[in-house]
Structures are given as structure tokens and as C-alpha cells.
Amino acid sequence: MQFRHEIKHEVTAQDMIAIRQRLRAVATPDPHAIEGKYLIRSLYFDTPDDKALREKQAGVSRRQKFRIRYYNGDTSVIHLEKKSKASGLGTKVSASLSREEAQKIVDGDIDWMKESSNELIKELYSKMVSERLRPRTIVDYTREPFIYAPGNVRVTLDYNIRSGLNCIDFLNPDCITVPAAFGACVMEVKWDNFLPEIIRDLVQLPHAKSGSFSKYEACRYPVIEAK
């Protein structure tokens, strides 16, 4: 399991436009994106006492979170993902779910999971039983991903973050979502063993707020801007 370095910056819309132009000059748009973008819908899990949220807010060094997601409204390909953090490094493992399996998880019909041949599905089942892990909220956003082969670098620009509030109707395209995070834009940079200097220089923003911005946290407590 490969742990990767990760940094995040919360940036302005103006910064994002400038970074996008720089990235287009040196990096390659993700070939799987549609016109350079993904529309991502995720459903995050947490315990009744919000363990994942509290550990994130407290900056706990070793932590995990589970989510299921699909891209561009295509529910024929759904991923169960576990993201792990350890001392500032991150890794992700995933498993495929059918639409029917994803809906069963949302509905709390989980007995079938313990018989799965996939270890990640069985791990989620175990935590849903032992820790009462349950779906908590939908997180929608737009992502523009870029890749740079040296260092296996991936830079993503995320924006238009929207919250499903308490809605967990994950597969319903008409589920109502609301703007979250004051319209924040987030730049995320991931790499393996080294970050090439050209990318390091490109993504540096002296006035940007660095840290561990969490779309899940923002969508649990969205502040809706007045129109």
C-alpha cells in the first residue's frame, strides 16, 4: 500500500484561474475527465458520535474515513473507498459496488456484506456493526485534475462544493444540495517520493491558506450565503 504526500490550499477563484493556466502549460489533464472536469458525488460515513469528523477537527495523526462515490452522474460505476492518514501521508484503497449494493448500504441492508469476497466491503461491514458507522451526508463538487509523470504528481482543483445536509439519497440525481464552504476553491497536490521543483514553484501562493480543508466537514455544517 503506497502512502503519498498530500498538501491542500484553500484558494480564491482568481488564484484557481491563474493556477489552471500554469498547469495547462506543464501538466496533462486527466484523460478520464470530460472536457477536463469530473462532477463528483460522494456519500461519507461516520459514527453516531461523529468520530471521523472529530478526529479531523482535532488533527489526529492516524485516522480513516469511508465513502462511496461516482462520477458525472454515472451510477453504473460506483466505488467504495477508505482513505487513511498517517503522519501527514495519505493512502486510499477502493472496491467496486453495483448500484444495487450501494443502495442496500444506504438502506442499512448490510448482512450480505459479511459474505463478500472483497476485504474492504467486509471491513466496512465490520465497522458498521462494531462502531455503528452509517452514511451521514452527500458531498458534491466539480474537480479539474492534472497529472505530471515525474514524481507521480496529481494536482486537483475542486470547487462548487455542495452539501446534501442530512440527505443520504445518494443515487437520486434530484436530491437537493446547497452551497457549502462559502464558495471555497481547494487545490490539492499529491506525490510519491519527490515533488518536482517546477510543480512546487507553480502551486506556491504566498497568501493562500494552507492546511487540511475537509469537504466533508464543510458539508456537515454548510453556511449558505445570502442571495
- The whole-angstrom separation of Cα 4 and Cα 156 is 15
Confidence of residue 1 (pLDDT cuts 50, 70, 90): low
- Average pLDDT rounded to a whole number, residues 98-122: 97
Do 41 and 55 touch, CB atoms closer than 8 A?
no
Residue percentage of the chain with pLDDT more than 70: 94
pLDDT one-digit tens code per residue, 178-222: 999 887 899 999 999 899 999 999 988 776 666 668 899 999 876
- The whole-angstrom separation of Cα 36 and Cα 70 is 17
- The whole-angstrom separation of Cα 170 and Cα 75 is 10
Q: What's the one-letter identity of residue 208?
A: A
Quote the pLDDT of residue 226.
38
- State phi, psi for 151 to the nearest 5 degrees: 80, 0
Which residue shows C-alpha cell 451521514?
136
Quote the pLDDT of residue 225.
45
Cell numbers at residue 176, please?
437537493
